[in-house]
Amino acid sequence: MIAESEEMNWSAFWISLQVTLVAMLAIAPIGLALAFLLARVPFRGRMLVETLINLPLVLPPSVTGYYLLLALGRSNPLIEWLGWQILFTWQGAAIASTVVGIPLMVQSSRAAIRSIDPVLENAARTLGSTEWEVFRRITIPLARRGILAGVILGGARALGEFGATLMIAGNIPGQTQTLPLAIYDAVQSRRLDEANRMVLLLTATALLGLWVVRRLETRRGSQAD
């Protein structure tokens, strides 16, 4: 007999929201810095760096989670020395979500930065602007739509993360259980009504995020024309 619940797992929803917001706060500056590095700074080994950044997009999430498990577990001497306990916490889930969301942020932001005419940045330099001022006053404003799209895509990816989160944070109800993990539990327990509610919520959120990204891309394209 199928057991159904009339309530959605709001605990998992709030944990997912918390994890996603923290991940987005990390994705934005880290992804933007990496995007600028790849788009504007020539250096040897750039292809290797780009490959490593994009690796979470092609690796199975469980493999990404395993690498994070090794990096953040007690087998890491630095973690042992600092006494950090990241595993099986919501902060660990936020780290996993950040790692899988950064590649999308980097791709979108790098494309936006590369589309800026370097003449505009060079003109600001000739007028006496420092590199930071050029970045803040010229690069970011002109690339803002691509940057915002990257943050949204990275956040959506973070919200839907399952495998890496499971490996590093576990599936502890009320502590580390996010919506994707709660959906898995609900289906396994045949609480299909509850699973349907959570699936619809995640689907609606993903559709909204993609719609916003598409709008940003359309506006950027029309301005370029």
Read off the pLDDT band of 7 (50, 70, 90): low
Q: How far, rounded to the nearest angstrom, does the alpha carbon of residue 150 sit from its chain's CA centroid?
A: 9
Q: How confident is the model at residue 5 (pLDDT cuts 50, 70, 90)?
A: very low
Whether residue 110 contacts residue 35, with contact meaning beta carbons closer than 8 Å, is answered with yes
Q: Is the pLDDT reported for residue 10 higher than 60?
A: yes
Average pLDDT of the segment spanning 35-50: 92
Q: How far is CA 213 from CA 13, 156, 209, in A?
A: 23, 11, 6
Of 90, 95, 47, the residue nearest 69 (C-alpha): 95
Distance CA 65, CA 93 (A): 10
pLDDT tops 90 at residue 177: yes
Please compute the mean of the pLDDT values over residues 183-208 and round it to a whole number. Answer: 92
CA distance 100 to 54: 9
- Mean pLDDT over each residue of the chain, to the nearest integer: 89
Is residue 3 assigned to a domain?
no
178 CB contacts (<8 Å, ≥6 apart)?
A: 12, 15, 16, 19, 93, 161, 165
Cβ(213)–Cβ(153) under 8 Å?
Answer: yes
* Residues 180 and 15: beta-carbon distance below 8 Å: no
Average pLDDT (9-16) is 90
Residue 108: CATH number of its domain: 1.10.3720.10
Q: Would you say residue 151 lies in a domain?
A: yes
Q: What is the pLDDT of residue 78?
A: 73
198 within a domain of the structure (yes/no): yes
Split into its structural domains, the chain has a count of 1
User: How many whole angstroms separate alpha carbon 129 and alpha carbon 133?
Assistant: 6
In a domain, 5, yes or no: no
How far apart CA 110 and CA 146 sit, in angstroms, is: 8
pLDDT tens profile 77-136: 777 777 788 889 999 999 999 999 999 999 999 999 999 998 999 999 999 889 999 999
Residue 1 lies in a domain: no
Give Dmax (Cα) for the chain.
Answer: 74
Full residue range of the structural domain in which residue 54 is found: 10-224
The confidence score (pLDDT) of residue 4 equals: 43
